[in-house]
Each structure stands twice: as C-alpha cells, then as structure tokens.
C-alpha cells in the first residue's frame, strides 16, 4: 500500500485559482454598449466603426436569408451564424488582405469579407466545386468540415509565411468542441514551437451540436490550453465586437513581430440550430439560457454604442438591410446560372494528372455526359 505523504506538494485550489485569475474575460463594451475599459479602446476611426457595424448587420441578414433559402430547398448545407457576428466579423476586421483565413464550416462570413464572391459561397453550400475554388487574390482555404483539422493546416500555412519573410498571419476558427480534438493540440503546439505567425480562434458557443461545453473539458477556460503549448491565450467576451477586434489586432501584432501565435477564446452563442440538417436546440438548452444570451447580442450592443456617438441611425440600418437583401438576391441568381457540376468536373479538379485506374471511368462518364 502506498504511504501517504506528509507534505502537500500541490495545493490544487491555489493552482486552479491562479489559472482562473489569469484568464478573466476581456471586455470593452458591456451589454448596454457602454465602454467599461477605456484604456483598451482600439484605435478605430468613425468610418471604420460604422463599417464594422455594416458588416455585422449584413451578416445577420445573410444568415436569415440563408435559413429561408435552405428551407425553400434553394441552398444545401448551412450552419447558422446569428449570435456569433462579433466573434466572426470583428476578428476578421483586424486582418489584412495578405493574411490567410482557414475557416470552419460556420465561418463563411469571414470568407466573404476576405473576398470570396457571395455567389460562390452559395455554391459551396450546394456542394458545387466552384464554391471551393478561391479566387487567386483571396488568401483562404475553403471551409473545413473535419473538426479541428484546420488547426494543423494553419500551423503549416503560418510557418510558410514566416519562412517566406511575409508580414502576414494565418488565422483559423473552430468551436468549443473542436478544442477537444487532437488536431487542435497538435496545431497550437507546433505553431508555438516554431513561433509561427498564427491566430487560433475558438468560438465557444457553448455547444458542440448538443454536447455542452462543461462536458467537453474540465479546463475552466479554453484559453488556458495555450499555456501547455507555450503560447499566449486570452478569453474574450465574444459578443463584444470591440474587445474581439482589440484582442485580434494585438495577436496579429505579436505574430508579425515574431512573438508567435495566440489562442483566442470568444465567449459566444449561436441562436439557431447547429446546422439546418434537423438539429433541434430545444432538446438540449432552455428558453432561459437563450434569452440570457440574446440580452448580450453583439448588434444591439454595438448599435447602442454607435448611436450614443451619433454614428448610427435606424434609417442607416434599414438601408444596409435593403442593400444586403438585394445583393443576396443577385448572388443567388448568379449561383443558379452556374452550369451544373458533372462527375467529370469533380474528377478533373481532383487530379493534376488523372491516375490511370480512373481514366477508364473518366471515359465512361465523358460519354454518358455527352448524350
């Protein structure tokens, strides 16, 4: 039988308390849109503040329209984004065009703001290969479906940027569920060891489909997982666009100055279902929880902040909404006009040189399609 030690080697409470203190949630705007952290206010012009709001409103409209287009059978795969606009749009707002974006399936808005034409985003949703072909001037990969895999790819892309001497970063996104994957740990660890200019974002929307974050990990925060990788970690109020922007801008600065990657955990919530493929959130979360999070809404909060500064009005927002609806309408038309994809298209884009064992099948399909 093992003898009981007399000395307390680790005071577990002390250790956990110290970690908790280190990863307190960073916030600039409270739920009412009041500035509670003046010294952390990012240096954004009035026009930039308005542009950030415009992009978040556009993204909310896009979400609403995408959900109804999906219900009409006009879109395929769709993962709702409402509630997560600050986490998505304000992280992206801190980037430059030369930065690389490696999104997950819920991160189509960041791709659009990075330059992916909207009609191509709709084609992605329809499983059309054109939706996965980034234009040459858009530094991005198409959305990753394998949970966490983009974290490893980001470490590699970031290291590539560093080796080529580029002053640019690679940013990636996953959810709280993704932060339990092996790929997540491998990605942050590798990037840390090589001081690769990466920004790893975890949008902690509290559920991995129906699994609550409390069942995901015993760690008090996801941000603290950075410690084991020897990188900087920060937990941010993910419903506060200014805090999200400031934390990302600072992470970018560190990355391009050779100080290595940052793990950013944004505390957020998705109002809708996990995807449009039959998930029913009422089975795993209460109306009270949903109401509680809706009080924190990033658009409501940022609108109040801008209105107080005399920078936003109802008319302005109505115009953004109407313009967004029109843009979406035109993009759907353009997606509808795209030629249907053929089996031979898929085979052609998959291989630079067709493997000989597929050549026969390629011939068969070529003949079938010509009829």
Ligand X SMILES: Cc1ncc(C[n+]2csc(CCOP(=O)(O)OP(=O)(O)O)c2C)c(N)n1
Is 252 labeled as catalytic in the residue annotation? no
> Per rule CB under 6 A, is residue 277 in the interface with ligand X?
no
To the nearest whole angstrom, how small is the minimum distance from the Cβ of residue 204 to ligand X?
Answer: 8
Question: What gap in Å lies between CA 149 and CA 153, rounded to an integer?
Answer: 7
Beta bridge partner(s), residue 265: 202, 235
Is 128 labeled as catalytic in the residue annotation? no
Question: What gap in Å lies between CA 87 and CA 272, rounded to an integer?
Answer: 16
Whether the Cβ atoms of residue 216 and residue 147 lie closer than 8 Å to each other: no
Which span (164-172, 174-182, 221-229, 318-326) binds ligand X, by CB under 6 A?
Answer: 174-182
Is 105 labeled as catalytic in the residue annotation? no
CA angle 163, 102, 245 (to 5 degrees): 95
> Per rule CB under 6 A, is residue 222 in the interface with ligand X?
no
Whether the Cβ atoms of residue 110 and residue 101 lie closer than 8 Å to each other: yes
Token pair for 204: 């902690």
In this complex, which beta carbon is closest to ligand X, that of residue 209 or of residue 346? 209
* Torsion angle of the four alpha carbons 65, 112, 142, 170, in this order, in degrees rounded to the nearest 10: -140
Token pair for 286: 């209460």
In this complex, which beta carbon is closest to ligand X, that of residue 174 or of residue 262? 174
Whether the Cβ atoms of residue 299 and residue 57 lie closer than 8 Å to each other: yes
> Per rule CB under 6 A, is residue 63 in the interface with ligand X?
no
Residue nearest ligand X, Cβ-based: 175
To the nearest whole angstrom, how small is the minimum distance from the Cβ of residue 147 to ligand X?
Answer: 4
Which span (30-38, 59-67, 85-93, 144-152) binds ligand X, by CB under 6 A?
Answer: 144-152
Q: How does strand 207-208 pair with strand 211-212?
A: antiparallel
To the nearest whole angstrom, how small is the minimum distance from the Cβ of residue 282 to ligand X?
Answer: 17
Out of 74, 284, 285, 365, the active site residue is 284
- H helices, E strands: number in the chain: 15, 7
To the nearest whole angstrom, how small is the minimum distance from the Cβ of residue 146 to ligand X?
Answer: 5
- Binding ligand X (rule: CB under 6 A), the pick from 60, 92, 106, 303 is 106
> Per rule CB under 6 A, is residue 146 in the interface with ligand X?
yes
- Binding ligand X (rule: CB under 6 A), the pick from 27, 59, 91, 205 is 205
Whether the Cβ atoms of residue 195 and residue 259 lie closer than 8 Å to each other: yes
Q: How far is CA 358 from CA 26, 264, 365, 370, in A?
A: 54, 44, 11, 18
> Per rule CB under 6 A, is residue 147 in the interface with ligand X?
yes
To the nearest whole angstrom, how small is the minimum distance from the Cβ of residue 316 to ligand X?
Answer: 30
Binding site for ligand X (CB under 6 A): 106, 145-147, 174-178, 205, 207-209, 274
> Which residues participate in catalysis according to the annotation?
270, 274, 284
């Amino acid at each position: 039988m093992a003898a009981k030690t007399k000395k307390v080697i680790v005071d577990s409470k002390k250790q956990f308390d110290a970690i908790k203190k280190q990863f307190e949630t960073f916030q600039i705007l409270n739920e009412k849109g009041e500035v509670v952290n003046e010294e952390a206010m990012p240096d954004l012009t009035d026009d930039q503040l308005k542009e950030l709001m415009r992009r978040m409103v556009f993204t909310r409209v896009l979400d609403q329209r995408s959900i109804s287009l999906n219900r009409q059978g006009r879109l395929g795969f769709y993962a709702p984004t409402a509630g997560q606009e600050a986490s998505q749009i304000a992280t992206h707002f801190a980037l430059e065009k030369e930065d690389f974006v490696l999104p997950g399936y819920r991160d189509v808005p960041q791709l659009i703001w990075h330059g992916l034409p909207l009609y191509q985003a709709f084609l992605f949703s329809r499983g059309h290969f054109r939706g996965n072909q980034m234009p040459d001037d858009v530094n991005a990969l198409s959305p990753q479906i394998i949970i966490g895999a983009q974290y490893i790819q980001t470490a590699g892309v970031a290291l590539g940027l560093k080796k080529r001497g580029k002053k640019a970063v690679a940013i990636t996104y996953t959810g709280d569920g993704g932060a339990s994957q092996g790929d997540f740990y491998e990605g942050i660890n590798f990037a840390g060891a090589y001081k690769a200019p990466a920004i790893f974002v975890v949008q902690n929307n509290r559920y991995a489909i129906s699994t609550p974050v409390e069942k995901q990990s015993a760690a008090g925060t996801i941000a603290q997982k950075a410690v084991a990788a020897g990188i900087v970690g920060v937990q941010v109020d993910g419903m506060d666009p200014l805090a999200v922007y400031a934390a990302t801008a600072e992470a970018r600065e560190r990355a391009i100055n050779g100080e290595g990657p940052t793990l950013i955990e944004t505390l957020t919530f998705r109002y809708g279902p996990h995807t449009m493929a039959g998930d029913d959130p009422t089975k795993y979360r209460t109306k009270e929880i949903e109401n509680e999070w809706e009080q924190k809404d990033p658009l409501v909060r940022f609108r109040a902040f801008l209105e107080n500064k005399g920078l936003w009005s109802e008319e302005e927002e109505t115009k953004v909404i109407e313009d967004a609806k029109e843009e979406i309408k035109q993009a759907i038309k353009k997606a509808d006009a795209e030629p249907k994809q053929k089996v031979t298209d898929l085979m052609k884009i998959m291989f630079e040189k067709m493997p000989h064992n597929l050549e026969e099948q390629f011939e068969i399909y070529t003949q079938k399609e010509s009829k």
